[in-house]
């Protein structure tokens, strides 16, 4: 939520806008060099769809545009040939021509469906209409169709070159970059900006080792970072688990030993402190509870129970196997007292205990209980060894705990700093001038 009176500054134009402007200029430059042959507007139109944030999507768009041009031009020539061969003098009345144009527009779209290319239906129809309508204006349809195809190819070729060219950069592919989630890579409204999503995916595609380390569950990460191509495992539950988003499986967990889980649960029950018990079993996050004992627990349940990545189970019996952590939820004064009493127990050294304000219900707080061995730093070292990283760089909002402190998450700071550190401009990286 934005603070009252806070105004978000308009973002500066991004690279896609800059590359589009340059590409349009080049389209008209090629038109002039060709002696004003063809129609540069169609090259410019091709550029608008050809400039893409990712190389792989650029290739797909180029292929689609060429196919759409071929299909549309083919049906345009088919209509013109039909009129020349069948109709007297090859020149239909205007209303007859328009009826045929409408009919063949449907045929053009339907042909893309039959070829399983429905994604290019609209573009093919536009090409068809430009060929068919220009014919009635007296333009040589065959020459026009060929020029239309050539103009499109020129635009796509310009977009391909401009999209790939960049300043020489030295890429640090052996550095593992790790970001926190809330108030770090996410904005104050808990969303990821479009700029951060696009640029982050581009950096990952180019080889950056990037992942997330958070207190939240994998469910929250997947919900908040939809559309981000996280190729590395993420560190979740404050270091209690490492999760592979693509394989949808936990690679490593640090559960509370069953005897320790039983002891602390009995202690909590004796004091009538309600809690959620988080269990990882068969790569599934199961959240068990006995009762929704207060408004905060009820709100948390109602807010999250529809998630595809969480599984709530109500049970009168406590389970002690595969428990990764407990979340105790109660009034702030009771939580503070519970934390103090728990840490005073002679066996408290077997646990890691953390308290904070609860985000469901004003006046409530929560207490998280993990195994004593749980830490993000330990899980990060395990992940760094797994991916062969020689060094790590962490981003977070808490001073003294991260390499890079993020003071304003609304300014895309993480992604900008990631880019600066991963691929600084360096003439020694001349081989990267063309993106692959």
Residues 304 and 338 in one domain: yes
pTM attached to this predicted model:
0.72
Question: Which residue did the predictor score with more confidence, 144 or 298?
Answer: 298
**71 lies in a domain?**
yes
250: buried, middle or exposed (CB in 10 Å: 19+, 13-18, 0-12)? buried
Residues 208 and 290 in one domain: no
- ∠ CA 398-404-406, nearest 5°, is 55
Domain coverage including residue 223:
175-253+376-432
Kindly report the average pLDDT of the chain as a whole number: 86
- Is the CB of residue 277 less than 8 Å from the CB of residue 323? yes
CB atoms within 10 A of CB 247: 10
Residues 111 and 124 in one domain: yes
- ∠ CA 7-12-16, nearest 5°, is 140
CATH number, domain of 408, equals 3.40.50.1000
Encoded tokens for 280: 């990882």
Q: Tell me the DSSP string of 119-150.
A: GGHHHHHHHHHHHHHHHHTT--HHHHHHHHHH
Percent of the chain with pLDDT over 90: 49
Reported as a single tens digit per residue, the pLDDT across 155-176 is: 888 988 888 787 777 788 999 9
Q: Out of 113, 131, 164, pick the residue that ends a domain.
A: 164
Residues 137 and 45 in one domain: yes
Residues 157 and 205 in one domain: no
How far apart are the C-alpha atoms of 270 and 293, rounded to whole Å? Answer: 15
pLDDT in the model for residue 425: 67
Reported as a single tens digit per residue, the pLDDT across 372-412 is: 999 999 999 999 999 999 999 999 988 888 999 998 888 88
Residues 221 and 343 in one domain: no
Residues 31 and 77 in one domain: yes
The mean pLDDT of 94-102, rounded to a whole number, is 84
Q: Out of 120, 140, 164, pick the residue that ends a domain.
A: 164
**1 lies in a domain?**
no
Residues 331 and 350 in one domain: yes
**6 lies in a domain?**
no
Reported as a single tens digit per residue, the pLDDT across 313-349 is: 999 999 999 999 999 999 999 999 999 999 999 999 9
């Amino acid at each position: 939520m934005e603070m009252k009176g806070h105004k978000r500054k308009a973002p500066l134009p991004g690279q896609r806008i800059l590359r589009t402007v340059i590409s349009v200029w080049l389209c008209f430059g090629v038109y002039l060099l060709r002696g004003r042959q063809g129609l540069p507007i169609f090259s410019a139109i091709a550029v608008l769809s050809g400039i893409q944030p990712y190389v792989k999507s650029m290739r797909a768009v180029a292929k689609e545009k060429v196919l759409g041009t071929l299909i549309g031009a083919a049906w345009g020539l088919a209509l013109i040939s039909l009129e020349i061969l069948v109709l007297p003098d090859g020149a239909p009345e205007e209303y007859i021509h328009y009826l045929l144009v409408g009919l063949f527009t449907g045929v053009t779209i339907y042909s893309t469906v039959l070829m399983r290319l429905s994604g290019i239906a609209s573009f093919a129809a536009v090409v068809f209409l430009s060929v068919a309508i220009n014919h009635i204006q007296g333009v040589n349809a065959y020459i026009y169709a060929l020029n239309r195809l050539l103009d499109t190819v020129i635009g796509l070729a310009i977009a391909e070159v401009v999209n790939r060219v960049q300043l020489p950069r030295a890429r640090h592919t052996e550095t593992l970059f790790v970001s926190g989630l809330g108030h770090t890579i996410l904005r104050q409204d808990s969303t990821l900006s479009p700029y951060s999503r696009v640029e982050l995916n581009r950096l990952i595609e180019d080889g950056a080792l990037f992942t997330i380390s958070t207190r939240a569950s994998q469910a929250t990460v997947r919900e908040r970072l939809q559309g981000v191509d996280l190729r590395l495992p993420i560190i979740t539950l404050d270091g209690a688990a490492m999760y592979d988003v693509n394989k949808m499986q936990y690679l490593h967990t640090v559960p509370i030993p069953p005897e320790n889980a039983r002891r602390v649960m009995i202690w909590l029950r004796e004091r009538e402190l309600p809690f959620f018990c988080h269990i990882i079993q068969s790569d599934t996050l199961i959240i068990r509870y006995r009762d929704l004992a207060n408004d905060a627990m009820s709100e948390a349940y109602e807010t999250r129970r529809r998630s595809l990545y969480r599984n709530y189970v109500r049970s009168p019996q406590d389970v002690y196997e595969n428990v990764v952590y407990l979340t105790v939820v109660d009034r702030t004064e009771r939580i503070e007292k519970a934390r103090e009493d728990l840490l005073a127990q002679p066996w408290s050294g077997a646990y890691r205990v953390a308290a904070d304000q609860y985000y469901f219900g004003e006046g409530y707080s929560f207490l998280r209980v993990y195994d004593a061995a749980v830490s993000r730093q330990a899980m990060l070292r395990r992940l760094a060894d797994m991916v062969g990283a020689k060094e790590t760089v962490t981003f977070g909002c808490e001073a003294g705990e991260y390499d890079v402190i993020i003071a304003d998450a609304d300014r895309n700071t993480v992604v900008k700093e990631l880019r600066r550190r991963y691929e600084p401009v360096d003439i020694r990286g001349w081989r990267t001038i063309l993106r692959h």
